[in-house]
Every structure is written in structure tokens, then in C-alpha cells.
């Protein structure tokens, strides 16, 4: 009898959840205030991160988004990066018409699969699977579900309850479960001005967030929109174990594990750079000579494989091959500066057309 009751309750719960999802596929159930100045509406977005150990976490995401017009097509977000340390376990999309009727199903092996690197990169093991879909009519709704196992844990997925301009959010949820003995750090920004609740230390929920319209001369979106970032205090980056209690720990780890031992130069190069700077009177003059030497000798070529995405090539190899990426050329330049007695600092920055600061109050892999 008890078993029968449990089965009935389970059936009722499943039916209720299914009915709730079906309700979200119908465009007519979108609240009017979320349609205003919106090209798309996130009906539901559930993100769950299960931390297994310092070198493993499982990421799951179930996302329902309604695209209202052509401008909203790029808001779908149905893609997933992967490499040798990021394994996609599940990936599926279902498309629904405006009334909530399923019209298409796309399985994992039907996603487009391409290299996830820009021009100038010689080789990288980073790839991305993404949805390529041409809608027949607007509006339409997309259900995107994925499960991914990460064996490199330097980057914990962040959370933006409002994902950008002209997109509203009906329901969004972010949760971290930690079954390891590793501490998790979380920092939230700009939550107080929005309908976002903290249910527990690592569990947040947002409801009915209206879209934001860009304004002339306004600061960058990231400075005032709600944002959450997370990091492990112990992590693994492509096979290299790291410590991240604070910026001192993180800086020492980077210097000792990624930079140390990479700045040896051939003797002839040491002699050449000393001769070129022999008549320079100031460190600034020496730095200009070193920079011009590096520019004339090398070119930009990127190789992003494994820890090579963060660990620079040896300065000796850069000199021999006459190429390197941003970190390799930086490291090579620092080695040259050191040889002529000029103090410099290997520094991580954001390389983009937007001016963004590294958060000095939250140590993590940034930039």
C-alpha cells in the first residue's frame, strides 16, 4: 500500500513538473512586462555545479528561452565548449512553435562541431559544439539541456541572471553542491537592485527581471548588471595543481608553476641585448630598445594546448622559432629586460576592446 502511494505521489510530481515545462513553451504565458523592449525571454535557466574534488566538477544546465524576433536569435546560447579535460556527457535541443508544440529535436551528434580558436592560433585542442538552426517563424522556443564533466577546475562557470541588453529573465537558478573537502568562494555583484534571492550559501534564484536597454555613454554592462562568480581554493589547471586562498597564493602558484624556469636565454642573445643597451642612460630607454628588439625579431602565433593555454613557451624557444603568443612574447620580453637590469612584472590583463579591471578582492583565474 505504501509503495502504491509513493508511486502515485511520484507520478503526480512528475506530471506537475512536466506541466510547468509545457506552460513555459507557450509564448502566450510570458508576462507582458518581460516582453517590453525584449528580443528574447529566458523562461527558465537552471544551472547546477556539483564539485566532486579539486580536479573534478559536473556542470548541468537546463535552459528554456523564447526568441521573439530575428534580433533574438543569437541569444539562444545553445553551445558547449570542450577539450581533452572537458567531456560532454549529454547535449540536446528541442524546438517549439509559439503554441508550445515540439517541431524539431537536435541530438548531440547533430550539433555543429568546430575548432574554438581565432585566427593566429597555430593549434589548439579547444572545440565547441553549437546549434545551427534557421527558424521558420517567430516567436519560437528552445529547450537546451547539457551535462558536462570538467577535469580542469580553474574556471567555475559564472552566472548572469540578466544575460545582456534586450533580454529579460522569467526564472533563473544557480546552485553549487560541494561533496568535496575543498572550499568554494562566491562573490555576487549588483544583486540588491534586482529580484534575486539567496536561498543558501551557494544557491540563488532570480525571477521576473526586465530587460535592460543600452544608453549612450553609460558604463559597461558588467558594472551594473547582476553577476556571480565562483572559484575553488584548490584547483587543477590542465594537470597542474593550484592554490587560491588569496592573490598572494595565486600569484606564487603562477610564478612557481607556470613562469619559473622558462626565462633562460641563449648566450648570444644575452650578449646582443647588452650591446644594444650599452649606451642607454635610463631604464625607460633600455625598455624601448628591448621592446623594439622583440618586435623586430618575433611575430604572433598562438599554440593553445593543455597547460600551454596559460604557461608560456620557454624564452629560448621563442628566440629560436621567432614567434609566440601574448604570454610567450611577454615572458620573452621580461627575460630580455632582466638581462639588462630592468625590473618588470609578468601581468595578466583582459585582452579585449572593453576596459575591464581584474577584481582585486576576488582571487581567481581572470583575464
Instruction: Examine residue 19 and state whether it is found in any structural domain, yes or no.
Output: no
Structural domain count of the chain:
2
- Claim to verify: residue 166 and residue 282 sit in the same structural domain: no
Q: Do 164 and 264 share a structural domain?
A: no
Residues 143 and 60 in one domain: yes
Range of the domain at 228: 26-243
Residues 4-52 pLDDT 10s = 544 444 444 333 444 567 789 999 999 999 999 999 999 999 999 999 9
- Same domain for 185 and 287? no
Residue 18 located in a structural domain:
no
- Per-residue pLDDT reduced to its tens digit, 203-246: 999 999 999 999 998 888 888 999 999 999 999 988 889 999 99
Q: Phi and psi dihedrals of 250, rounded to 5?
A: -65, -45
Compute the half-sphere exposure of residue 156: CA atoms within 13 Å on the CB side of its CA: 34
Q: Are residues 281 and 220 in the same domain?
A: no
Residue 10 belongs to some domain of the structure: no
| pLDDT given for residue 156 in this prediction | 96
pLDDT of residue 308: 54
Q: In this predicted structure, what is the pLDDT of residue 217?
A: 86
Residue 357 lies in a domain: no
Are 227 and 315 members of one domain? no
- Mean pLDDT in order along the chain per 10 residues (367 residues): 47 44 91 97 98 97 98 95 93 97 96 77 74 96 98 94 97 97 95 93 97 90 92 91 92 91 96 97 97 95 66 94 92 97 88 74 80
pTM to 2 decimal places: 0.85
Residue 20: what pLDDT? 61
- Do residue 40 and residue 183 come from a single domain? yes
Give me 304's grid cell.
Answer: 593553445
120 and 202 assigned to the same domain: yes
Q: Are residues 139 and 287 in the same domain?
A: no
Amino acid at each position: 500500500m505504501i509503495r502504491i502511494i509513493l508511486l502515485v505521489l511520484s507520478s503526480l510530481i512528475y506530471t506537475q513538473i512536466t506541466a510547468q515545462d509545457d506552460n513555459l513553451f507557450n509564448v502566450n504565458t510570458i508576462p507582458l512586462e518581460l516582453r517590453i523592449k525584449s528580443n528574447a525571454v529566458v523562461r527558465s535557466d537552471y544551472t547546477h555545479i556539483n564539485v566532486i574534488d579539486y580536479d573534478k566538477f559536473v556542470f548541468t544546465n537546463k535552459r528554456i528561452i523564447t526568441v521573439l524576433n530575428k534580433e533574438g536569435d543569437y541569444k539562444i546560447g545553445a553551445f558547449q565548449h570542450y577539450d581533452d579535460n572537458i567531456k560532454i556527457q549529454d547535449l540536446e535541443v528541442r524546438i517549439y512553435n509559439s503554441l508550445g508544440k515540439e517541431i524539431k529535436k537536435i541530438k548531440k551528434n547533430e550539433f555543429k562541431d568546430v575548432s574554438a580558436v581565432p585566427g593566429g592560433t597555430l593549434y589548439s585542442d579547444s572545440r565547441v559544439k553549437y546549434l545551427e538552426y534557421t527558424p521558420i517563424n517567430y516567436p519560437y522556443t528552445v529547450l537546451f539541456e547539457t551535462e558536462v564533466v570538467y577535469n580542469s577546475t580553474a574556471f567555475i562557470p559564472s552566472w548572469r541572471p540578466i544575460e545582456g541588453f534586450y533580454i529579460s529573465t522569467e526564472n533563473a537558478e544557480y546552485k553549487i553542491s560541494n561533496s568535496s573537502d575543498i572550499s568554494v568562494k562566491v562573490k555576487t555583484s549588483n544583486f540588491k537592485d534586482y529580484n534575486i534571492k539567496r536561498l543558501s550559501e551557494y544557491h540563488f534564484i532570480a525571477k521576473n527581471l526586465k530587460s535592460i536597454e543600452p544608453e549612450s555613454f553609460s558604463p559597461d554592462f558588467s558594472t551594473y548588471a547582476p553577476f556571480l562568480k565562483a572559484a575553488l581554493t584548490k584547483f587543477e589547471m590542465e594537470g597542474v595543481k593550484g592554490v587560491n586562498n588569496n592573490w598572494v597564493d595565486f600569484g606564487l602558484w603562477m610564478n612557481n608553476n607556470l613562469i619559473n624556469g622558462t626565462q633562460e636565454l641563449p648566450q648570444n642573445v644575452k650578449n646582443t641585448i647588452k650591446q644594444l643597451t650599452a649606451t642607454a642612460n635610463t631604464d625607460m630607454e633600455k625598455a624601448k630598445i628591448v621592446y623594439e628588439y622583440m618586435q623586430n625579431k618575433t611575430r604572433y602565433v598562438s599554440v593553445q594546448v593543455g597547460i600551454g593555454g596559460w604557461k608560456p613557451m620557454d624564452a629560448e624557444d621563442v628566440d629560436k622559432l621567432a614567434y609566440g603568443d601574448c604570454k610567450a612574447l611577454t615572458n620573452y620580453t621580461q627575460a630580455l629586460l632582466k638581462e639588462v637590469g630592468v625590473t618588470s612584472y609578468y601581468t595578466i590583463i583582459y585582452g579585449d576592446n572593453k576596459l575591464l579591471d581584474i577584481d582585486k578582492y576576488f582571487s581567481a583565474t581572470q583575464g
